[in-house]
Amino acid sequence: MSPSPSSPAPTSTSTSTSTSTSPTQPQPKPSLRTHLKTHLLASLPEADVASQSHRAQETILQRLPAWQQASRVSIYLAMPGGEARTEGLVRAALGEGKVVFVPVLCREEIPSNAGVGKGGDGSGLGGEKQEGSQSASADATGNDVGGAGQGGAGKSKKKKRKMRMEMLRLHSLQEFEGLERDSWGIPSLSPSSLAGRENARGGVGPEGRPSRAGEEEEEMTGEGTGDDGKEVDGKHGGLDLIVVPGVAFDREMARMGHGAGFYDGFLTRLVTRGAG
């Protein structure tokens, strides 16, 4: 969205240039994001969100060749307010026999001396406080002293925890309809089921580990059938199309996300396959 035009600058007989007459500077990304969320998205009537979501969905399903050609897709599951709904896309993808992946957040331990920016989340987006993206204090079982302090010398080198996003497989329409909502109101996969799900980047579970002997073949390798009976094979990982959320987009389709950097991190790991 373009900012509202500023009021005309007062006339002056001075020949010097005043800062009050200089062109309006672009609004910093964090403050622009906050303004859009609190003043625009929060005020959108639910009927408008539903209507615009339906239009976007129809455009994707009927006019986007990438959708029609894709066999492996990642689709975000929308928050209750301020995001385009994606339920229709998920249902359509499963009905067409596509392999569908949805986002999950998982914790990863990082060394306490790792290069984390001022914002505490390493997102590189101005240090704005983000929901769920800050390094969290590890509990007693999550601290790693790494042998330091065994002789009483020096401080223990603890590890911090940080959230990262992975895409794990959603198996069926029945499973999708039964998803419970998390604390943010987003339909989410059951935490107890994550370890046995195909990872879009390859492997199994949030870590993308190799499958173990004795585990269910369909869950561990991604082999099986879609709702239309077509064979699917997710052994090698990768995605053909990713549907991402956004707070705003400009005319060149540059995206402003929610600021946590989850998709930035995921896309980087996806294109450098195997990176943790």
For residues 90-105, give the mean pLDDT. 97
Sort residue 72 into left (φ over 0), alpha (ψ -120 to 50) or beta. beta
Cβ 49 vs Cβ 81: under 8 Å: yes
Segment 152-187, tens digit of pLDDT: 444 555 556 688 999 999 999 999 999 999 988 999
pLDDT for residue 20 is more than 70: no
Q: Rounded CA gap, 256 and 249, in Å?
A: 6
Radius of gyration in angstroms for the set of CA atoms belonging to the chain, rounded to a whole number: 23
C-beta contacts of 50-56 below 8 A and 24+ residues apart: 50/85, 52/84, 53/84, 53/85, 53/86, 53/88, 54/85, 54/88, 56/84
Q: Rounded CA gap, 104 and 166, in Å?
A: 5
In terms of Cβ atoms closer than 10 Å to its own Cβ (0-12, 13-18, 19+), residue 253 is exposed
DSSP 224-247: EE-TTS-EE--TT---SEEE---S
Cβ 194 vs Cβ 104: under 8 Å: yes
Percent of the chain with pLDDT over 70: 56
Q: Rounded CA gap, 267 and 76, in Å?
A: 14
pTM for the model: 0.65
Segment 49-91, tens digit of pLDDT: 889 899 999 999 999 999 999 999 999 999 887 788 999 999 9
- Which letter does DSSP use for residue 136 in this model? B
- What CATH superfamily classification does 29-116+159-271 receive? NagB/RpiA/CoA transferase-like (3.40.50.10420)
**Tell me, what's the pLDDT at 161?**
62
Please state the domain extents for the chain.
Answer: 29-116+159-271
Q: Rounded CA gap, 233 and 218, in Å?
A: 9
pLDDT for residue 236 is more than 60: yes
